[in-house]
Every structure is written in C-alpha cells, then in structure tokens.
Amino acid sequence: MGAPMAARLLDAGHTLTVFDTREAALQPLLGRGARKAGSAAQAAAEVETLLVSLPTPDIVRQVAASIGAGGKLRNFVDLSTTGPRVAREVAALLAPKGITGCDAPVSGGVSGAEKGTLAVMLACPADRRAALEPVLKVFGKVFYLGEEAGLGQTMKLCNNLLSATAMAITSEAVVMGAKAGLDPKVMIDVINAGSGRNTATQDKFPRCILPRTFDFGFTNMLMHKDVKLCVEEAEAMGVPMWVGSAVRQVWAYTLNRHGPDTDFTTIIKTLEEWAGVEAKPRG
C-alpha cells in the first residue's frame, strides 16, 4: 500500500523523503526524485508531516518512539491499521515532543491505492485538518471522523471486520454450492444479481478466487491481525462479538494452515479441504 500511495504523492508534485527497511521498495521512488532517509527517525527530522504505512502495531510504536524532539516534524499520520488504543498511545507519546499524532487508516486495497480511490478515515485535531486533507485527498476520499485519537482506527476495524466476514461467509456458501453440484461462477453471478452480493462476490471472487490466482495483495497475517484487533477492542468496550469471534477463529486456522504471507483469498482453500471439493468454475 505504501509504495503506490507514495507514487501518487510524487505524481501530485509533492516533495518526498522516504525510508523503508527494504531497499528494493525504495528504488522506484528514488528514481523519480524522492530523497532517501537513513532511518524513520531521520525522515521525521527533515519533514513537517510524516506518513507511515506499516504492517503491525508494534512497528508503529517503535517508529513513534524513535522520533526525537526538536526537529521539523509537526504531524505524525498513521495510515496503517493499528487499533484505537495504539493510536492513543502514539498520540500521548508524541505530544510532549510538540508532535500531533493523527490516525488516517485507508481502505480499498492496492488497486485503490494505485488509482487514488481509497477511503481515508481521518481523526485529528480540528486545527490540523485543513493542512492534512489536501495531502490525503491524493489517496482518495477523506472522511473526517473527529478530533479524538483512535476514531479513525475504530472505523477501519469496523470496516475490515465486515470485509473479512463477507470473505469468510461467501467462501462457505460457494463451497457448499460446489459440493452440491452448482457452478461457482454461476453462483457468483446469481448472488451479485440478488440480495447476497457483497465486496467478496463483486470483487475478490471474480478477480482472484474463480481464476484461482489468489493474488489480491493482502496477506492472511494482516487480515487475521485486523480481525483480532477489532474483536479485542470490542471486548474491551463490552460489546459482544459472537460473529466476529467466529471469523477470527477461521482466519487463525487459515493463517496456520496456509501461512502468514499467503493471500487472504486462500481462506476458501481451508473450507475446500474440509468439504473435499474445489470451487472451480466449470468449463
């Protein structure tokens, strides 16, 4: 997600200082004029607004803790999915350094990042909104959710729980139909013309599952992390998560069965193995 978002900022004429632990990820951006920082802390010292797109809450914490006081940085904007408690921790950690922690997680996948059609869920103090929205609009549509740190993260967790649930339950339904003798492609066409349509039937199944490519661009590790974060946050607030807990269990099994780095669309393989059938289109 970070690479196409950074590319869009360059397309829009912004000056970038970039850092990644993987040198290969930086090369396309450096070739287009971005400056290379030696560390996240160095990047933070040279810019007023730092945008981070990172895989786990712990890494976000580590990057925030590495940032020193006295530099140019004024806005720390987390585009990752880390959960509201981490967003509040980061904001509290940075505030004494004169830096405002803002959460702005995004949804829409790699293709959305490339096209600039992401949903950006911004939570920041009102006095920072005007400065940040023009930058974030490069990525897609910005939704301002309020001043309190963590509101954007809560919205993102709710969104991703729905996406994960649609993926899991659609896989169950299609595997059931395939076992009964239905053509999975016809099933998806029928569902998309009826009341059962959802993001999985409209996008992920036609693009990655029916062709058996399993290359949507989002890993089982990340989806399990997002669902786990959502269920844990709900439990901390005293909100029941019966369906969410079941989705978390299915993804935990898929993660262990197929590996953390495999595409999250491989969840259907878990159900196919149990059912003894492959949900392949006929002909």
pLDDT in tens, the chain (283 residues): 889 999 999 999 999 999 999 989 999 999 999 999 999 999 999 999 999 999 999 999 999 999 988 788 999 999 999 999 999 999 999 999 999 999 999 999 888 999 999 999 999 999 999 999 999 999 999 999 999 999 999 999 999 999 999 999 999 999 999 999 999 999 999 999 999 999 999 999 999 999 999 999 899 999 999 999 999 999 999 999 999 999 999 999 999 999 999 999 999 999 999 999 999 998 7
Distance CA 76, CA 67 (A): 10
Selected from 3.90.1150.10, 1.10.15.40, 3.40.630.10, 1.10.1040.10, the CATH number assigned to the domain covering 156-275 reads: 1.10.1040.10
**pLDDT at res. 36:** 94
| 119 in Cβ contact with 108 (< 8 Å) | yes
Other C-beta atoms closer than 10 Å to the C-beta of 181 total 8
pTM here? Answer: 0.92
Residues 6+ apart with CB under 8 A from 11: 138
Supply 69's token pair.
């006081």
**pLDDT at res. 109:** 86
Q: Which long-range contacts (CB under 8 A, 24 or more apart) does 143-150 make?
A: 143/119, 145/121, 147/123, 148/123, 149/84, 149/87, 149/88, 149/90, 149/91, 149/101, 149/102, 149/103, 149/123, 150/83, 150/84, 150/85, 150/87, 150/88, 150/103, 150/123
Active-site hit among 72, 137, 156, 280 = 156
Token look-up 């809450």 returns 57
Q: Which stretches does DSSP call E strand in the chain?
A: 17-18, 35-36, 49-52, 75-78, 100-103, 106-107, 118-123, 140-146
156 carries an active-site annotation: yes
- Fold adopted by 2-149: Rossmann fold (3.40.50)
- Structural domain spans, the chain: 2-149, 156-275
